[in-house]
Amino acid sequence: MKSKKILLLLLSISLFVGIIYFFKFGINIFKIKHIEVLGDPVQLEIKESLFVNNILFFPSESVVQKIKLDNPLVKTVEIRKKFPSTLIFVIYKRTPIAEIITNGIHLGIDEDTVITEIVSTNQLPTITTDIPLVRIGATVRHPMVIQAIALISKTKSFIQWSRIESFETQSIRAKTGQTDILITQTSDLTYVRDTLQTLMEGFRIKGTMPKSIDIRFSKPVVQF
Domain with CATH 3.40.50 in the chain: 98-223
Q: What is the pTM of this model?
A: 0.80
Q: Are strands 171-176 and 179-184 parallel, antiparallel or unpaired?
A: antiparallel
Identify the pLDDT of residue 12: 60
CATH 3.10.20.310 placement within the chain? 22-93
Q: Has domain 98-223 been given CATH number 3.10.20?
A: no
Instruction: In whole angstroms, give the CA distance from residue 91 to residue 77.
Output: 5
Q: What is the C-alpha to C-alpha distance for residues 189 and 195, in angstroms, rounded to an integer?
A: 9
At 29 the pLDDT is 75
- Cα–Cα dist 73/94, whole Å: 6
Q: Kindly give the parts of the chain with pLDDT less than 50.
A: none
Distance of CA 20 to the CA centre of its chain: 45
Taking the CA atoms of residue 97, residue 102, residue 104 and residue 106 in that order, the dihedral angle to the nearest 10 degrees is -20
**CATH class held by domain 22-93:** alpha beta
**Preceding peptide of 143 cis, ω within 30°:** no
Q: Cα-Cα-Cα-Cα dihedral of 111, 132, 70, 126, to 10°?
A: 30
Compute the chain's Rg from CA coordinates.
Answer: 28
- Residue 6 is predicted with a pLDDT of 62
pLDDT at 50: 60
